Structure 1
Amino acid sequence: MPFTAPSVANKGNLFRIGPRIDIQVAVGELVTFNILQDTLMLIPARELQPVRPGQLLVPGWPGWQEGARQTFPYRVELIAAKRVLASTWRADDNFLVRPYIPTGPATGVPVKILTCTIKNIVPQGRLLPLSPGDQAIAVACYSYEVEVVYADRAGRTFTLILQSGPRRQQAVVYPASGYLEVNVTIQCLGSRIISPVVPPPGPPPPYKPLRLWLETRV
């Protein structure tokens, strides 16, 4: 039964007849694996004192004496810091494709992509020890969203969200007594709107007869 026939199954269904349009986004991914260790550090610190009018004298002004100096007291502070024991990285590309599906009769066909923004990066990392030895496999699992803003021929703008899906990278590290920190950097490399052209069906290939010679031996 054709889909234009009046039937109960076709009631309320919307059919779009026209060329297919795809929104394509190329994304670059950079995952950094850091092995860190908590430590303490002593640093010199200088106290800042409020300056009163006339306290600091400029050369040439009344009261200035050649060779005069102003001293500020120094002290040492103990702060919490992180030491990087090892670091490595992995890079990959992700290619996202989203077909254009109209949400209503007033929705325009996309003709130009205005912005491409990465949002909601969710990284997770863990260490898988290798036995024997002091090596381990650092695993990073992450996901993110790509927000695409495009315009139609009338200049109206629309927002589209593309999901990256589950992503994974891994590397061999030497954790020693440190712990793993995973940093994920995502960047839009490019985006475009294309309309794939389906080639028309051509004539069937010509029939080529096959000849066989059978030989019998007695």
Structure 2
Amino acid sequence: MYQQHREQRRVTDSEKSRCAAVFQECDSGRSGYLSREDLKVAVVSMFGYKPSKMETDMLMTSVPEDNHLPGLPLDQFTSLMCSKLAAMDPYEESRQIFSAFDVHCRSFLTVEDFKRAFAKVAPHLSEQTVLEAFRYTVESMLSDCIVAWFGNLSAQERKRLQKVVNTAQSIIGSDLPTIEGIYRSRCLKKAGSIIKDPHHPGHTLTSPLPLGRRYRSLKTATSRFRNSFFPTAIRY
């Protein structure tokens, strides 16, 4: 059976420094080693969960035989924690955050889930700010690279995509902008950044009309080009 092996990531110097800092914080007796209980606290501080009895046993028994300390010294603790960090799934933290929000285990988040979570961790934020954060999160999933692909969708394909937006609205219990509205706003935002950047390859494609209020339309020979990003952004 084929099994895909994920390469371990490189542990950064800041993460190694954090291991040392956690060790110092959890070495309650300043004895130069972590006891079993100290180690549990350290793992909670590093990874946000309490290790099981089996995992704690494995960590404690990994101490070299020539070590005469009754616990885990700094170098061994750093080595063990760095190994755990290197083997971590890069998306695990995101999954843990999602699970913390998804208190009803529904595998999707509603606006009420967002409000409840923010009320606990950031009660000073206004409801409007929380709603905007939620809306932008949903929008980002719907509009990834939308300026590149939306313009040449057929009317039927756009209608199908709008149905997805409508379904998302009913699930999350919050209003979302239309897919056309998202496309228009992203086009204008992207075009604005290109106009301001003289080093952008597309900067020379935009030239203002004599009055300076609008930009000169591009000549297009095909509907594919006419519906692409640059001509569409200029028409907007």
Q: Taking structure 1 as the reference length, what is the TM-score of the superposition? A: 0.19
Higher strand share: 1
Structure of higher RCO (CA pairs closer than 8 Å, 6+ residues apart): 1
Q: Taking structure 2 as the reference length, what is the TM-score of the superposition? A: 0.18
Higher helix share: 2
Rg comparison, structure with higher value: 1
